[in-house]
Amino acid sequence: MIDILLVPIALVIILVMLHSYFGMEILKRGIIFTDLAIAQFAALGSSVSLGYFHEEHFYILTLSFALLSAFLIAFASTRKLHLEAFIGILYVLGASGIMMVLSHSAEGMEHFKSLLASDILFTPPNEVFKSAIIYSFIALALYFLYPKLRGFFKELLFFSLLAITVTSSVSLAGVFVVFVLLIAPPFVALSLNFKKPLLGSFFFGWFFSISAIVISYYYDLPTGYSIVFLGAFLTAILVLITSKRET
């Protein structure tokens, strides 16, 4: 049992750390659905690869679509418009595009289900290793380069790095898993007023994702959806219990 669980647990440990940072920044900006929109565009790119190129150019197309959405969001953030509404439009654009592209594919619905939440229980170790390398370079760029930029270029770098992160994460875990790992940990950490919110995000994210992996293994449940359900459930309960009544 331990051998089977080690790889997915290692994967979610890595995912939670980087995604919690991005999630914290997204919550500060007040644009909650940014990651969903980028993830949907990344998923649209992978669907185009499946629907029209027999899964050739998979990573290039997935990353290209994700970067396109990142550029559009970064550009929109410099304009006077309702940014959250614009991001919502991008989300439904990507989601509808996926359904249109996959409508004539025999494997379409199965691919669509895996795009939403993959069964990470059987993730190959080499995929985790490759993702760890990608995430390491992203973390270095966030630490050394991001603070030195200003204005549009700073926003463009942030959303581009988020797009690269999401591209890798969607192929490994799925759109819904990416969203819950980005938003749930920092949402709880900020709601509970942790002294070190990022560290609190890590521990909460690790707790519910590792718990969900173990539960899904013992009860033969889909791992990705188990992570999403448990993370969303615990977040909703904790936030409601600890929130103050509006006066």
Distance CA 77, CA 152 (A): 8
Encoding tokens for residue 219?
A: 């009860």
Q: Give residue for tokens 């895996």.
A: 114
CATH superfamily of 2-238: ABC transporter involved in vitamin B12 uptake, BtuC (1.10.3470.10)
Distance CA 78, CA 171 (A): 30
Q: 35 pLDDT band (50/70/90 cuts)?
A: confident
Residue type for position 204: F
Asked if residue 108 has pLDDT above 70, the reply is no
Q: What is the pTM of this model?
A: 0.84
Residue type for position 55: E
Nearest to 22 by CA among 120, 167, 222, 228: 167
Please, what is the end-to-end C-alpha distance for the chain in angstroms?
51
pLDDT above 90 coverage of the chain, percent: 46
Q: How many residues belong to the chain? A: 247
Q: Check residue 106 and give its pLDDT.
A: 67
In the three-class reduction of DSSP (H, G, I as helix; E, B as strand; rest coil), residue 55 is classed as: coil
Nearest to 197 by CA among 211, 183, 187, 206: 187
pLDDT, tens digit, 9 for 90 and up, residues 123-137? 888 888 888 899 999
Q: Check residue 214 and give its pLDDT.
A: 94
Residue type for position 136: S
Q: Check residue 89 and give its pLDDT.
A: 93
Mean pLDDT of 76-100: 89
CB 48 within 8 A of CB 160: no
Which stretch of 9-18, 51-60, 91-100, 148-157 has the lowest confidence by average pLDDT? 51-60
Phi and psi at residue 91, to the nearest 5°: -60, -50
Q: 94 pLDDT band (50/70/90 cuts)?
A: very high
